[in-house]
């Protein structure tokens, strides 16, 4: 990419897209384009066709997606598979039709089987059944990987698929129903701290910024306590924050701005032909080109319980943490093997213990 190249970041206001946008600007790229959903509905085939025909981007970062945590994935299964397939199909196909030079597709490590060998190498893809709770989302992302591979093999395009591990960072989603585990725990602990400290001003300020099911800072105390109780923030024994599952699952987390740096690194330095060459070097007799995607992760993991107590320490929550074992844990372990990324020349720097404090500092500011 040249500094003046026209670069489209799909989803540029989200956790992933905003981090990529910031990284590109910091590296001197000057011709970035983005559209919020009210300006361009990526599920609308005709609208996406018109956008590509008019704007003619040279490079595309496909960071737009419908995302959520275990609760949202369990409830909105149809939405997660249908909307993500719509977004991916429209952007990847129009990138080909309108001559985009290179595209980076961002997936998720939930593409790997529930019982995948740990840590998960790229070759683990499609070797056994997926985790049930997020199977629709995972299938959509697998389709995105295969779409990139297939267009590359049939049409000679240069589309790279990267699979980030669990991400967290600035502009994350803190919705109590739809957020991922780390931002959900941070907000729960913050609201719990407000209740425990009897700091209703801070509690109402938080709800004014991010109402929960229509309940905001102007709602009555009883309305606020009722909605918080529904989401596991219970005004009993000072305050108890309830979390789903046993706390035993292990998870890997990557600071979103580091993921962005790795993504831009791949766009600048890695081509599909390089990945094909690596496959043929390791299996010289193989005629099959698959698993060309790249894991983006730390290769390190932490239990949900240990993470919860680290968040409690950073937030300063003085109440209790309770784990509800009647709720699902999800996949028990999901650790990436980032050795392919390391061999290409990129490594992470921010560890989760420091990242939690950075995340909370961002949230309260």
Query: By C-alpha distance, which of 64, 20, 57 is closest to 296?
Result: 20
Using CA atoms, how far apart are residues 113 and 132, in angstroms rounded to an integer? Answer: 10
Q: Are residues 274 and 238 in the same domain?
A: no
Q: The domain spanning residue 110 has which CATH number?
A: 3.40.50.720
Using CA atoms, how far apart are residues 69 and 231, in angstroms rounded to an integer? Answer: 14
Query: By C-alpha distance, which of 194, 172, 193 is closest to 184?
Result: 172
Residue 329 lies in a domain: no
Q: Are residues 153 and 193 in the same domain?
A: no
Query: By C-alpha distance, which of 354, 141, 145, 160 is closest to 265?
Result: 160
Domain with 308 in it: 181-248+303-324
Q: Are residues 227 and 316 in the same domain?
A: yes
State the DSSP string of 224-253. Answer: HHHHHHHTTEE-SSS-EEEEES-S--EE-E
Structure tokens at 91: 């952007």
The enclosing H or E element of 28 equals none
Per-position pLDDT tens, the chain of length 365: 999 999 999 999 998 999 999 999 999 999 999 999 999 999 999 999 999 999 999 999 999 999 887 778 888 999 999 999 999 999 999 999 999 999 999 999 999 999 999 999 999 999 999 989 889 999 999 999 999 999 999 999 999 999 999 999 988 889 988 788 899 999 999 999 999 999 999 999 999 999 999 999 999 999 999 999 999 999 977 899 999 999 999 999 999 999 999 999 999 999 999 999 888 887 766 678 999 999 999 999 999 999 999 999 999 999 999 999 998 887 788 899 999 999 999 999 999 999 999 999 999 99
Using CA atoms, how far apart are residues 158 and 101, in angstroms rounded to an integer? Answer: 7
Residue 52 contacts residue 98 (beta carbons within 8 Å)? yes
Q: Are residues 85 and 155 in the same domain?
A: yes
Q: Identify the pLDDT of residue 284.
A: 67
Residue 144 lies in a domain: yes
Cβ-based neighbours of 39, under 8 Å, separated by 6 or more: none
Please give the positions annotated as active site. Answer: 137
Q: Are residues 226 and 106 in the same domain?
A: no
- Total domains in the fold of the chain: 2
Cβ-based neighbours of 229, under 8 Å, separated by 6 or more: 235
> Is the four-CA dihedral 112, 161, 81, 188 of positive or negative sign?
positive
Structure tokens at 190: 């913050």
Q: Are residues 96 and 157 in the same domain?
A: yes
Q: Identify the pLDDT of residue 333.
A: 87
Cα separations in angstroms, 154 against 60, 145, 146, 149: 19, 14, 12, 9
């Amino acid at each position: 990419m040249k500094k003046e190249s026209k670069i489209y970041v799909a989803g540029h206001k989200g956790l992933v897209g905003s981090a990529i946008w910031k990284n590109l600007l910091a590296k001197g790229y000057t011709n970035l384009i983005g559209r919020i959903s009210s300006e361009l509905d990526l599920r609308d085939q005709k609208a996406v066709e018109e956008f590509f025909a008019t704007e003619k981007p040279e490079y595309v970062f496909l960071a737009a997606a419908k995302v959520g945590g275990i609760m949202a994935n369990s409830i909105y299964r149809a939405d997660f598979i249908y909307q993500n397939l719509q977004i991916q199909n429209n952007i990847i196909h129009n990138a080909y039709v309108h001559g985009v030079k290179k595209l980076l597709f961002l997936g998720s490590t939930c593409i790997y089987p529930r019982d995948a060998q740990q840590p998960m190498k790229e070759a683990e893809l499609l070797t056994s059944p997926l985790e049930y709770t997020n199977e629709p989302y995972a299938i959509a992302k697998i389709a995105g990987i295969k779409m990139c591979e297939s267009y590359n093999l049939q049409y000679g395009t240069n589309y790279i698929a990267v699979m980030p591990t669990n991400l967290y960072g600035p502009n994350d989603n803190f919705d109590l129903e739809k957020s991922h585990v780390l931002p959900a725990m941070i907000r729960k602990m913050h609201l719990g701290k407000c209740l425990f400290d009897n700091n209703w001003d801070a509690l109402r300020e938080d709800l004014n910024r991010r109402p929960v099911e229509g309940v905001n800072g102007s709602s009555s105390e009883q309305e606020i306590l009722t909605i918080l109780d529904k989401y596991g923030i219970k005004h009993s024994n000072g305050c108890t924050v309830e979390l789903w599952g046993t706390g035993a699952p292990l998870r890997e987390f990557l600071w979103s701005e580091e993921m962005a740096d790795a993504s831009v690194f791949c766009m600048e330095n890695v081509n599909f032909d390089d990945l094909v060459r690596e496959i043929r070097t390791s299996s010289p007799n193989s005629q099959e080109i698959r698993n060309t995607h790249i894991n983006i992760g730390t290769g390190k993991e932490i239990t949900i319980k240990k993470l919860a107590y680290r968040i409690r320490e950073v937030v300063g929550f003085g109440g209790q943490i309770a784990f509800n074992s009647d709720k699902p844990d999800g996949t028990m372990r999901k650790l990436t093997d980032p050795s392919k990324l390391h061999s290409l020349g990129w490594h992470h720097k921010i560890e989760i213990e420091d990242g939690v404090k950075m995340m909370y500092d961002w949230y309260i500011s």
